[in-house]
Amino acid sequence: MEQVANKYSVISASAGQAPVRRFTAIALSFVAMSAFLAGWLPLRMSIATVFLFAGPHNWIEFRYFLSRTPVRLGPFRGYFIVAAAGVIALAALQIGLPLLASSLRSTGAGWSGLIAGWNGLLIAWVVALVYMRSRQVPRFDWRAALAVGAALLAADVLAPALWSLGLVYLHPLLALWFLHRQLRRTRPEWMGAYRACLAAIPFLLVLLWVKLAGGSALAADNGLALRITLHAGAGLLPGLNSGALVATHAFLETIHYGIWILALPLLGLQNPPWRVGAIPLVRNRLGWPRLVKGLLVLGGFAVVALWACFLLNYSTTRDVYFSLAIVHVLVEVPFLIRMA
């Protein structure tokens, strides 16, 4: 009997490891394939990923955050008010910066000052959210956040354009943090495998840079190619190969899209994304079911409209999308701080 019991425990343990092995194999395969395609066809990879996944990932991200929004804010009311006010104000300022610069006739140092001012407001907003969260969760050390914020503010003053470029590369990595928090809550036994997948990312980045660093720069011979290379930092980092920069950004963006479209819906939502009845704001009698359903339907139409606009004029649509994408970037911050 003891031998049978031991054999059964071994079989059970092996069966319990099967999902972890599948997760590891799928995640490593996805990351490796993304790196390969980004290194092989950096410009085309950048164009294709934004065209295919920019809209759907925003819709699923919105759906995910709706499922994490409490029906009754209670003690979180002040936190969410500051969060919403910051998102609206910072997004409006970011979108309106070119118009403001034009009205003030700001060029050169004046434009850098406007960028530095926006970055400083962003830092202050994040520190304020961390402080408010620390009042609810004592283990949150807001003084450490204040110290980090001061260091970031100093870097912003010294090089505001480079600081903003850092946000371009930091934003895709936030999805990794969301997945980390989700796994710790729902699949803690997968954390070892997830850390192994994380370790593969810098390794693949090094391979990308080794492959592309000695090559020729990308031929920015049209407006779209020029926009993509500038967005990746080719104008701010002239000493670095533009192909490596575009490949790096395309690789990280693909991981970002994969997490939001595949990993988080499977691990973080109890029902498929299209089953909106599971959202607390819909099923609870104190919620807003019609409003939430209406917003999700409008979001679905917006995804289809975005694809149509990409087909009609990809370059202009890409510019407009990345100008408005600051909204969803900002929305991620308060939810991430609250999850932490």
Is the CB of residue 173 less than 8 Å from the CB of residue 252? yes
pLDDT in tens, 210-250: 888 777 667 666 788 888 988 888 878 767 788 889 999 99
Q: What is the pLDDT of residue 220?
A: 65
Q: Is 267 exposed, middle or buried (0-12, 13-18, 19+ CB in 10 A)?
A: middle
Q: Which domain holds residue 136?
A: 2-339
Q: How many residues does the chain have?
A: 340
Q: How many domains does the chain divide into?
A: 1
pLDDT in tens, 256-306: 999 999 888 888 666 677 777 778 788 877 778 888 899 999 999 999 999
pTM for the full model? 0.87
Q: Is 49 exposed, middle or buried (0-12, 13-18, 19+ CB in 10 A)?
A: buried
Is the CB of residue 298 less than 8 Å from the CB of residue 55? no
- Provide the percentage of residues in the chain whose pLDDT is more than 90: 40
Number of H helices, E strands in the chain: 14, 0
DSSP 89-118: HHHHHHHHHHHHHHHHT--THHHHHHHHHH
Q: What is the pLDDT of residue 252?
A: 96
Dist. CA 133–CA 255, nearest whole Å: 29
